[in-house]
């Protein structure tokens, strides 16, 4: 059932450029960028229990690294994107190594400070980054939107598959054990700090890669990528889709991104609305909206089949 659902979803996604062109395809591409960010953030927050507020900032690290390598050093775009992902991973490693050895909200605090100060840095270093005007970036594949869309889809599928495989591997089991009972896992010989650091670095690299993709698809990078509001948007997407589900978060991102386009008229109220909704979701169904809906569907179906059984008797 689940496989079938996934297959249909993938087919639909692959057929999308034949249905939509122009503006809505562009919307879908940006949606894929957010989907990669939201699903990797959900892995971190939902499965590992690390709340990082630097995910948007790491995307900006990837975007600016990749953009500047291409512009100033004439790197080929794919190589530059990989380098951008590596740069985000290095920042993740540094922040993680500093904060993950302590319990408590140290990582959340430090990542928030980092993302704000990285934004200040991007705005202040005008000669390198063109400040808040943003840096014009060469497009990938000569800006062919259809191909860009498929690259984005490939990126999303690769991210979700890789992270799911990680969760099923030994590392994933350790992470699960730590999430449920950290002291228990530690007494059984799990090096909790090391595995958490691994998860943080992997997901940070995903954010950096997404940022590089964004830079070369949109053609403009600005410090706006690294704002706290942008981080709030990613959080909202993950919570909508369900923090503990990678696919759910990716779908949540695509749904919110299309919703955003419908809400163009309310542009400035958008984050207030999303923020309010997230507060309600967190209060009433902390596991997220999509899982809750499918749960409800399941119980309905169960009830129906029970009724059928009763009739047979």
Partner 1 sequence: MLMLAQLVNALVIGTLYALMSLGLSLIFGVLKLVNFAHGESLMVGGYLYLFLASFFLSHSCGLPLPLALITSMAAVFVFGLILERLFLRSAYERKTARYDEYVILVTFTLGIFLQNLALPLFGPYNRQAPAIFTGRIKIGDLVIAGDRISAAVIAFLIIALLLFFLYRTYLGKGLRAVAQNPDAASILGISVARMRGMAFGIGISLAGVAGALLGPIFLVNPGMGVPFAIKAFVIVVLGGMGSIKGTIIGAFILAMVENFGSILLPDPTRALAYKDAYGLLLLILTLLFRPQGLFGEKERRA
List interacting residues with partner 1 (CB under 8 A): 45, 49, 51, 53, 98-99, 101-106, 108-110, 112-114, 116-117, 120-121, 123-124, 183, 228-229, 232, 235-236, 239, 268-272, 275-276, 278-279, 282-283, 286
Helix (H) or strand (E) holding 175: helix 170-180
Region of 239 please: left (phi>0), alpha (psi -120 to 50) or beta: alpha
Closer residue to partner 1, CB minimum distance, 8 or 109: 109
CB of 198 to partner 1, least distance (A): 19
Partners of residue 228 on adjacent β-strands: none
Instruction: Name the residue nearer to partner 1 (CB basis): 29 or 135.
Output: 135
> Among 253, 228, 221, 225, which residue's Cα sits nearest to residue 152?
253
Q: Rounded to the nearest whole angstrom, what is the least distance from the CB of residue 85 to partner 1 in the complex? A: 23
Chain-centroid distance of CA 259 in Å reads: 17
In the complex, least distance from residue 7 CB atom to partner 1, rounded to whole angstroms: 33
* Beta carbons within 10 angstroms of residue 89's beta carbon: 24
Which residue's CB is nearer to partner 1, number 11 or number 279? 279
- Please name the residue that has the structure tokens 């904060």: 99
DSSP 238-254: HHHH-TT-HHHHHHHHH
259-264 long-range contacts (CB < 8 A, ≥24 apart) are 261/24, 261/27
The smaller minimum CB distance to partner 1, of residues 44 and 87, is found at 44
3-state secondary structure of 227: coil
**CA atoms of 68 and 136, how far apart (whole Å):** 10
- Name which of 70 and 178 has its Cβ closer to partner 1: 178
Question: Min. distance of Cβ 271 from partner 1 in angstroms?
Answer: 4
Q: How far is the CB of 281 from partner 1 (least distance, A)?
A: 9
Q: Which lies closer to partner 1 via its Cβ, residue 123 or residue 258? A: 123
Least distance CB 121 / partner 1 (angstroms): 7
């Amino acid at each position: 059932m689940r496989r079938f659902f996934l297959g249909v979803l993938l087919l639909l996604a692959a057929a999308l450029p034949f249905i939509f062109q122009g503006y809505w395809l562009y919307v879908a591409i940006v949606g894929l960028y957010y989907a990669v960010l939201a699903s990797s953030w959900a892995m971190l927050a939902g499965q590992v229990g690390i709340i990082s507020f630097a995910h948007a900032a790491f995307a900006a690290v990837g975007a600016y690294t990749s953009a500047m390598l291409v512009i100033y050093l004439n790197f080929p775009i794919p190589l530059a994107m990989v380098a951008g992902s590596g740069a985000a991973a290095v920042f993740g490693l540094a922040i993680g190594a500093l904060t993950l050895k302590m319990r408590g909200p140290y990582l959340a605090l430090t990542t928030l400070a980092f993302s704000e100060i990285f934004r200040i840095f991007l705005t202040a270093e005008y000669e390198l980054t063109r400040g808040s005007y943003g840096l014009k970036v060469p497009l990938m594949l000569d800006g062919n939107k259809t191909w860009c869309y498929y690259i984005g889809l490939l990126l999303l599928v690769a991210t979700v598959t890789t992270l799911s495989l990680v969760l099923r591997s030994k590392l994933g089991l350790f992470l699960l054990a730590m999430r449920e009972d950290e002291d228990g896992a530690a007494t059984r010989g799990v090096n909790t700090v090391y595995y958490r650091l691994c998860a943080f670095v992997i997901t940070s690299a995903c954010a950096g890669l997404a940022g590089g993709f964004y830079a070369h698809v949109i053609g403009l990078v600005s410090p706006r990528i690294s704002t706290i509001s942008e981080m709030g948007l990613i959080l909202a997407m993950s919570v909508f889709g369900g923090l503990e589900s990678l696919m759910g978060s990716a779908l949540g991102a695509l749904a919110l991104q299309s919703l955003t386009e419908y809400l163009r008229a309310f542009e400035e109220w958008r984050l207030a609305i999303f923020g309010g909704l997230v507060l309600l979701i967190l209060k009433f169904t902390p596991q997220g909206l999509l899982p809750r809906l499918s749960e409800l569907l399941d119980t309905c179906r169960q009830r129906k089949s029970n009724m059928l059984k009763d009739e047979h008797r």
